Each structure stands twice: as C-alpha cells, then as structure tokens.
Amino acid sequence: MNNGLIKCVDTMPKMIAVIKEIVAEEVDFMFRDMIETGQGIGTSDITACMNACVPAVNGRFDIDLPFLCHLIHNAIGELEEEVMA
C-alpha cells in the first residue's frame, strides 16, 4: 500500500551519500588551494560551489539548498582539518 513511501525512505540514505560525495569532490576541487595558501572563502565562493553541485546531481533527486549549504560548510571544515594535519 505505502510502497512509494517505503521506497522513498529506503533511498534517502543513498541520496545523502551521493550528495555528500559530490560536495566533497567539489569542495576539494574549488577550495583546496585556497585553504593551503591561507586565502579566505567568501559567500560568493560558497554559492559557486552550490551551483557546481546542483548539475552534478543531474535531476536524480530534489536538493534542499539549506542542507546543501550545510554539507558544503562541513566539507570545508573537514578539508581544513585534512590540509592542516
């Protein structure tokens, strides 16, 4: 009866894993050099990263933009820790 709901709930972790991978790749590509050289990352840089992530999803699922922004901020923090280690 609720097969659509079950399918949706079942795929949610997969969708999150996909978007996290996309974000990690984009953040590394866009910001690694900036972090290594001590340059600042501004809001326009975050927006550019968000804009780069959306086409990578290629319409496979809807993207919650505040959640995407949150993932980008987390990925930047993780990259900073990796670079500074």
- Summarised one tens digit per residue, pLDDT across range 14-24 is 888 989 999 99
Cα separation, 5 vs 10, whole angstroms: 8
For position 32, what pLDDT does the model report? 96
pLDDT of the chain, 85 residues: tens digit per residue: 444 444 454 588 888 898 999 999 999 999 999 999 999 999 999 999 999 999 988 777 888 899 999 999 999 999 999 998 8
Number of other CB atoms surrounding residue 11 within 10 Å: 13
Question: What's the Cα-to-Cα distance from 20 to each of 25, 37, 79, rounded to whole Å?
Answer: 9, 25, 13
* pTM: predicted TM-score of the whole model, two decimal places: 0.83
For position 12, what pLDDT does the model report? 80
